[in-house]
């Protein structure tokens, strides 16, 4: 019986140790810490932030169109702005509107 208990405890320990370190961050939590944050939340619930230095400095190639900004999706983008993914393997999207282009990085928490 003690061996089974030890085995179960070891399994639980392994499962929790191997779990993902990152979880999606809620829009509400981000805005609580930074009320002026420039965010966009896609229809799947993924949240992206603008203004990350290394993202702004890096060149990305615009990929496929993901959709358009709708009412309530973004804190600082107009409705109708076009959302694109990037061809590079980064969690970044590009948003274009009124001859402007902004890069957004996916938010991940601990």
15 occurs within a structural domain:
no
Q: Does residue 75 surpass a pLDDT of 80?
A: yes
Structure confidence at residue 110 (pLDDT): 44
Averaged pLDDT, 61-88: 98
Please tell me the total count of domains within the chain.
1
Q: Does residue 19 surpass a pLDDT of 50?
A: no
1 occurs within a structural domain:
no
43 occurs within a structural domain:
yes
DSSP string, 33-45: H-TT--EEE-TTS
Domain containing 26 equals 22-106
64 occurs within a structural domain:
yes
pLDDT band at 28 (very low <50, low <70, confident <90, very high): confident
Strand partners, 85: 93
Q: Does residue 82 surpass a pLDDT of 70?
A: yes
């Amino acid at each position: 019986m003690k061996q089974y208990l030890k085995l179960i405890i070891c399994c639980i320990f392994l499962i929790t140790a191997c779990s993902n370190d990152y979880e999606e961050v809620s829009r509400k939590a981000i805005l609580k810490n930074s009320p002026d944050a420039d965010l966009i939340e896609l229809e799947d619930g993924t949240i992206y932030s603008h203004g990350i230095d290394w993202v702004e400095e890096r060149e990305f190639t615009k990929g496929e169109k993901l959709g358009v900004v709708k009412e309530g999706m973004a804190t600082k983008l107009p409705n109708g702005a076009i959302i694109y993914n990037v061809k590079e393997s980064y969690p970044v999207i590009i948003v274009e509107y009124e001859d402007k282009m902004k890069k957004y990085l996916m938010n991940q928490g601990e």
